Amino acid sequence: MNSPPFRFERLHQDAHCAARRSVFHTPHGSVQLPTFMPVGTLGTVKGLTIDSVRATGAEMILGNTYHLALRPGERVVAELGGLHEFSGWQGPILTDSGGFQLFSLAQLTKIREEGAEFRSHIDGSTLQLSPERAIEIQEALGSDVAMVLDHVIELPSDTDAIRDATERTIRWAARCLASATRPSQTQFGIVQGGLDPALRVACAERLSDMPFGGLAIGGLSVGETPAEMYQIIEVTAPVLPEDKPRYLMGVGRPQDLLEAIRRGIDMFDCVMPTRNGRNALAFTDQGPLRMRNQIHTHDKRPIDENCPCPACRHSRGYIRHLFRAEEMLGPILVSAHNLTYYARLMADARAAIEADHFTDFFHERMRGWGEIHSPSAN
């Protein structure tokens, strides 16, 4: 008998916290969890070739429905073999539905029950994005995981507005499921509810009753404090099914990843490692390094002695020189370093969970970053 195209295999939970070690099997390969997914909004992780992305240790990447529908258009991508063939990435791909753009492009968007109407940020043309259209685009793109269209609003917001957006998200989720036609693609639901624990739990419970391949926590990292975010993760994660992946959307500080892992989250994405890399900030276990700073001018050391990335074959002085000289190689190298750092952090987290040492690992990393962690979830 053939194995199902999607399967979640839970291997171990740390004996001292909710951190989980799992595997997510997809038609384009298996993903070791917890994992961080580099963001390739337009079919490319900015500044890096696909081979370079693969060399960082990444196993799954993202694309974006809204942006790819605008250019080159999902039909063009489909004609060129789908997003895997189009980009050259043969591993698993997750596509965001465009729901985040309801928040980030709010001034260009009108939201009604039937869906959202965008004004293109490129040329002002109109894009209609309903739940059905969001799935249609993602099926044409051919991603492994399609995210449902959700209604994201900024925080803080009026309680009635948050409740309205949450209820709309649930209704839209059901419409997304009903419109699916591609067996080789699974859908993830998205839990909304702002900073209201009761709304979050209610939304999670209702979405958990629907046949999604996984569930995400959305609508965070949009104006709330880290402590508020951790509280929402802590009340929401236990309500999500234990036998499906749990994905925290758009959250990317290393300390936030570990805080979420110890609360039971499996998957992450964020533009932070590549955006910061383009701006000369390199992540390390001792905290970030600002590579334009004069202190690095004569420094012969690599960014990280133990890092296998191409940037760490060079001195800090050389990396600084590239940025000061505005050479494009500087952003490329530090972007590669940062993605490698995130992949290594996730690999170390997985090993710590397997050994029931995640709490010790968490404290060690937090001390290195100079962080005072929240006391809960211990």
Cα separation, 343 vs 347, in Å, equals 6
How is residue 308 annotated by DSSP?
A: -
Report phi then psi at 196, rounded to 5.
-95, 105
Provide the total of helices (H) and of strands (E) in the chain, helices listed first: 14, 16
Distances (CA, A) of 326 to 160, 184, 319: 49, 44, 11
Q: Are 221 and 191 in contact (CB under 8 A)?
A: no
Q: Which amino acid is at 55?
A: A
User: What is the SS3 assignment for 333?
Assistant: helix
**φ and ψ at 352, to 5 degrees?**
-65, -40
Please answer whether residues 337 and 307 qualify as being in contact, where contact means their C-beta atoms are separated by less than 8 angstroms: yes
77's tokens? 């991508």
Listing DSSP states for 35-77 in one string gives EEEEB-TTSS-TT--HHHHHHTT---EEEEHHHHHHTT-HHHH
* 261 CA to centre of own chain: 13
Length of the chain: 378
From the CA atom positions of the chain, what is the Rg in Å? 20
Q: How far apart are alpha carbons 33 and 351 in whole angstroms?
A: 11
Where in the sequence numbering do the catalytic residues fall?
96, 269
Residue with tokens 């002695």: 305
Distance CA 17, CA 261 (A): 9
346 to 56, 226, 331: CA distances (angstroms): 12, 20, 23
